[in-house]
Structure formats: C-alpha cells, structure tokens
C-alpha cells in the first residue's frame, strides 16, 4: 500500500480509504437488457437460489452472493455479465442514444462496449476497438454471448484511429476507458501495486493523452466524450484532461452521478488545472464499497 501514501493529502479520511483498499471486493454483475428485462433476470437469479442486491444508483447493477458469478444460469444465457460496479458508470455517464454512432476506443474485453449497446437498445453502431489483438477474441466472445449485434469490432491504435473504413466520418459520442496503472483495482487484484513506479505512470499518461485527443477529434461538434480510468494518479486523470483542453476544442461539463464521490483536483504536485476539472469525479473505495475510478465528461466545441 506504500505507493498510495502519495494520495494522503487529497483523500478525506485516508485511513478509511486504506482499510477499504485492503478488503476483498464483492461480486457484481450487470443485467444485459438486450437478452432480457431486469425483472426477468432477478427472477432467474432467485430461482437459481442466488441472493442479490440491486445497486441504489442503477437497477441494472446487481451485487451477488456467489463466488462464481460467471457460472450462473443467467450468465450462461447472457442475461448477466460480470462487471465491477464502478466499471458500469462510464457508459451511463456517456448516455448513448438509439441510432447513434459511438466509439469505445479501448473496448476489450467488452463489458462497457456491450453495455453501450444495451443502453442504445442495440440500435445504431458501437465501434468497439482495441489495439491488443490477443484481447479481441474475448471482446468478440462477449459481444456474441450478450447478443450485441450493433457492435463493429476493430483492432487498431486508438491514437491514430482512422474512420476511412466506415461510411461516416465522425462519431456522436466516444468513450475512452484508458489503459492505466490500475491502482483502483487493488481490491480485485491485490498485486496491482507490485510493480508500481512513477516512470510507468509517466509513460502511460502519454498514451492516454494521445487517445483522448483522438477521441475529441473524431467526435462531432456538440458530441460527448467520456474519459475514465481505474487509477488515482492525477498524472493519468486531471493532467490528461487538461492536456486535451489545451490542445483540442472541448470543455468539461457537469454530470449527475448517483454514487458518493469527490470532485476532480484543481492542483497536484505544483501543477494547476482548470477549475472546470472540479466537475470531474473521483470515486474512492471507501465511499461506496467499490473499486476506485475517475471520470470526466467533455463536450466537443467549435474550433
């Protein structure tokens, strides 16, 4: 837990934060409404003898009393998909609508991409991209298991992504759930901090900046881009958004979030950020008994 000490100045009740990070994470699934309603899925779980609790902020997110959520009847038939609770937040904040063109720039293994398709009633186009060919098979498997027919799967570097393969030249919305140092997954992956170092944070933040800038460029004026990570490092969060604000035509906008959270930072380690970054959300493990997450919502503006 030593690397997390650097965040003591920015986290209220830091001891509660550390204690939460040391507790194992419970099992959560998302109801896949492409295959069935929330009501039908809950009935199937009850029939299977599995105790559950719906999340207050989202009835499609369900905490299960089982050690193997991927082995249930509902999972086998595509009614549920194992997905950490905070991982289900970015698609909800992006709020895609049926018929739209949406880009998930870093989509594998497909939890958020298929959630986007479900939120769109599987109508429109969700371009699910990942640069890791080895992860594409998992993305395709989950799309097929969950019945997400609106997905188009691509394998490319998001930083230089080309839309020439499509009959359109811009997206309505884009999700950048960026590769990161994964500090916020410590409850699920106890070894997440084993190889932690500031050099890695610096390296991955450069990749994040390139992906987020490309997402803004590829989204129409008035469109929405959501940036998210599962890490606490401001270098990967506020600093990446600030870099995009400085170099692309966009602004940070407010959004509603039914989970307890802290605002984004306006400064870190001698670096100041635009006050608009306080509209971003930092979700810490002790606030909702979840993993850690960061989210910022951007609106693309005229050049």
Flag whether 107 is marked binding: yes
Cβ density class 118-128: b for 16+ within 10 Å, e for less: bbbebebbbbb
Q: Report pLDDT for 303.
A: 81
Q: What is the pLDDT of residues 204-234, one digit of tens each?
A: 999 999 999 999 999 999 999 999 999 999 9
Class level of CATH domain 26-83: alpha beta
State yes or no: 297 annotated in a binding site. Answer: no
Task: Quote the mean pLDDT of the chain.
Answer: 96
158 labeled part of a ligand binding site: no
211, 217, 219, 225 alpha-carbon torsion, rounded to 10°: 40
Nearest CA among 48, 42, 94 for reference residue 63: 42
Range(s) within the chain of domains with CATH label 3.30.70.1170: 26-83
Question: Does the pLDDT of residue 1 top 90, yes or no?
Answer: no
Reported as a single tens digit per residue, the pLDDT across 79-123 is: 999 999 999 999 999 999 999 999 999 999 999 999 999 999 999
Q: What mean pLDDT is predicted for residues 247-276?
A: 97
Q: Which fold has domain 2-13+85-300?
A: Rossmann fold (3.40.50)
* Beta-carbon contacts of residue 144 (< 8 Å; ≥ 6 apart): none
In this structure, are residues 226 and 178 in contact, taking their beta carbons and an 8 Å threshold? Answer: no
Residue ranges of the chain assigned to CATH 3.40.50.150: 2-13+85-300
DSSP helix/strand/coil, 38: helix
The residues that are catalytic are 230
Q: Is the pLDDT of residue 203 over 90?
A: yes
Q: Residues of the chain with pLDDT > 90: what percent? A: 95
């Amino acid at each position: 837990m030593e690397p997390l000490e650097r965040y003591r100045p920015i986290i209220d009740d830091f001891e509660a934060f550390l204690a939460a990070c040391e507790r194992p994470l419970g099992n959560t699934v998302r109801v896949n409404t492409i295959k069935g309603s929330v009501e039908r899925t809950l009935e199937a779980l009850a029939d299977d003898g599995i105790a559950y609790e719906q999340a207050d902020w989202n009835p499609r997110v369900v905490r299960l009393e089982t050690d193997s959520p991927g082995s249930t009847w509902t999972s086998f038939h595509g009614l549920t998909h194992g997905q950490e609770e905070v991982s289900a937040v970015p698609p909800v904040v992006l709020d895609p609508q049926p018929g739209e063109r949406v880009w998930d720039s870093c989509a594998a293994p497909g939890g958020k991409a298929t959630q986007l398709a479900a939120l769109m009633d599987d109508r429109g186009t969700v371009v699910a991209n990942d640069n890791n060919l080895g992860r594409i098979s998992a993305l395709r498997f989950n799309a097929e298991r969950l019945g997400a027919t609106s997905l188009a799967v691509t394998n490319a570097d998001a930083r230089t992504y080309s839309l020439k393969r499509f009959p359109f030249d811009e997206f309505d919305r884009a999700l950048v759930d960026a590769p990161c140092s994964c500090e916020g997954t410590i409850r699920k992956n106890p070894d997440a901090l084993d190889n932690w170092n500031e050099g890695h944070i610096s390296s991955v933040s450069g990749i994040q900046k390139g992906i987020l800038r490309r997402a803004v460029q590829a989204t129409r004026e008035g469109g929405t881009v959501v940036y998210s990570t599962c890490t606490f490092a401001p270098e990967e969060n506020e600093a990446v958004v600030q870099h995009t604000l400085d170099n692309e035509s966009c602004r940070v906008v407010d959004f509603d979030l039914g989970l307890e959270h802290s605002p984004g930072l306006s400064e870190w380690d001698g670096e100041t950020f635009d006050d608009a970054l306080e509209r971003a959300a930092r979700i810490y493990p002790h606030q909702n008994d979840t993993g850690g997450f960061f989210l910022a919502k951007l609106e693309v503006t005229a050049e």
